[in-house]
Chain A
Amino acid sequence: MKARFLLPLGLFAALVVLFAVGLGLNPREVPSPLIDKQAPTFTLPQLHAPEASFGSRELTQQPVALVNIWASWCVACRQEHPFLMELAQRGDVPIYGLNYKDERADAIAWLKRHGNPYRVSGHDLDGRVGIDWGVYGVPETFVVDGRGVIRYKHIGPITPQVWREKMEPVVRQLQQGGA
């Protein structure tokens, strides 16, 4: 007799828990299949110097680097920009930029106005390299190790909290692991 009432109640409670967890997840955070894989090879013209190139080779010149996908039309990029500037000033980890589907002049003007935290930015005008990197929403930031393997990907603007809790531990570990 008791079980007859307890069973639906139990099922209901299980559903509530399931939905609560499901609603708490962010559907925009699609796990990237690129994690722990070799970063896609690419060669792009540099944003500031179109005749020079920027490619995967530059990413393996240090034990760890950040690759930030950005665009002047991207609102959330502006939001994370001050923090990228701060990171660049600290100089712990080199930041490379991938300027995604942007007009060169717009991108350069944007960096002039807000500051340029990037060592180099590649200019991906048609977004083809972005597709190889599985980019679907700017800004996105990849942590790439010295062998050119993607170790972490963050979708959306980097906040100090995201940096402290998610990205910095990965970066530190790679830096301590030696080249």
Chain B
Amino acid sequence: MRIFCLALLLLVATSAVASIGVYEFETPEQEVRFKRLSEELRCLVCQNQSLADSNAELALDLRRQVHTMILAGKSNADIVEFMTERYGDFVLYRPPLRAATVLLWVGPFVLLLLGVVVLGRLVRQRASGTGNDDAQLDVAEQKRLEQILRRRGE
């Protein structure tokens, strides 16, 4: 039984290593580049994970591709170009600024600006007291208020 458990554990251990994939590099700098790239490239199968996070078959293959390209002396730009030629900008977590992606890049700032403008206007309105007529009582209301106060005073 103990041997069986040990065998099972060993089996699990090797398969875990196999699925993560250990890559060897010639220089530590290459390894850093590999890590950076696989974090910036998106896995297309599980779309909210990077190549580094994903264990999908395709992510595994693409990581291997990045690895071989790095060893072949390709630059980061070469590798990113290789990926976008095949999978489009979608494969990048930081898509390039283009007509189609302008909204993506500028949108949040436009919303922020809009928020600031609206907030500014609200604050100014409050401060100047104009615009919130609700706080002012008309003649009838004023009379009723006085009545209530008088009744309390009695």
The A-contacting residues of B in range 54-89, CB under 8 angstroms, are 57-58, 61-62, 65, 84-89
A50 adjacent to chain B (CB < 8 Å): no
Looking at chain B's contact residues, the main secondary structure is helix
Closest chain-B Cβ to A132's Cβ sits at a distance in Å of 6
Assess the B47–A33 pair: CB atoms within 8 A.
no
The contact of A101 among B44, B57, B85, B86, by CB within 8 Å, is B57
Considering the complex, give the chain B residue whose CB is closest to the CB of A132: B86
**Chain A residues positioned under 8 Å from B57 (CB to CB):** 101, 127
Q: How far is the CA of A101 from the CA of B61 in the complex (A)?
A: 11
Q: Are B44 and A33 touching (Cβ within 8 A)?
A: no
The answer to the question of B45 belonging to the interface, with a C-beta cut-off of 8 Å to chain A, is yes
Question: Is A163 engaged at the interface, CB distance under 8 Å to the other chain?
Answer: no
The interface bits of chain B over 23-46 (1 if a CB of A lies within 8 angstroms of the residue's CB, else 0) are: 000000000000000000000110
* Contacting residues of chain A (94-150) with chain B, CB-CB under 8 angstroms: 101, 126-128, 130-134, 136-137
A interface residue count range (under 10 / 10 to 19 / 20 to 34 / 35 or more): 10 to 19
Alpha-carbon separation in the docked complex, A32 to B86 (Å) = 7
Question: A130: which B residues are within 8 A, CB to CB?
Answer: 61
Chain B residue nearest in CB terms to A11:
B114
Majority SS at the chain A contact face: loop
With known contacts A131-B65, A136-B58, A33–B86 Cβ distance under 8 A: yes
The distance from the CB of A127 to the nearest CB of chain B, in whole angstroms, is: 5
Q: Does B90 contact A (CB under 8 A)?
A: yes
CA gap between A89 and B84 in the complex, in Å: 37
Cβ A133 vs Cβ B86 within 8 A: yes
B45, closest chain A residue (CB): A136
How far is it, in angstroms, between the C-alpha of A28 and the C-alpha of B88 when the chains are bound?
Answer: 13
> 1/0 per position for A26-67, CB-CB distance to B under 8 A?
011011111000000000000000000000000000000000
Q: Which of B78-111 contact A (CB under 8 A)?
A: 84-90
Q: Which of A30, A127, A137 contacts B88 (CB 8 A)?
A: A30
Given contacts A27-B47, A136-B45, contact A131 B88 (CB under 8 A): no
> Bound complex: CA of A128 vs CA of B57, how far in Å?
12
For B84, the closest partner residue in chain A by CB is A33
Quick one: given A101-B57, A127-B61, are A134 and B45 in contact (CB under 8 Å)?
Answer: no
Contact of B86 (CB < 8 Å), options: A27, A34, A126: A34
Please name the residue on chain A nearest to B100 by beta carbon: A31
Is A30 a contact of B86 with CB atoms below 8 Å?
A: no
Closest to A101 in B: B57
Partner of B90, one of A30, A101, A131, A132: A30
Q: Give CA–CA (A120, B84) in the complex, Å.
A: 29
Instruction: For residue B82, give the distance in angstroms from its CB to the closest CB of chain A.
Output: 9
Could you tell me the distance between the alpha carbons of A34 and B91 in the complex, rounded to whole angstroms?
14
**A33 and B45 contact, CB distance less than 8 A:** no
Within 8 Å CB of A27, what residues of B?
Answer: 47
A interface residues (Cβ-Cβ under 8 A, vs B): 27-28, 30-34, 101, 126-128, 130-134, 136-137
Question: Residues on B close to A: CB < 8 A?
Answer: 44-45, 47, 57-58, 61-62, 65, 84-90
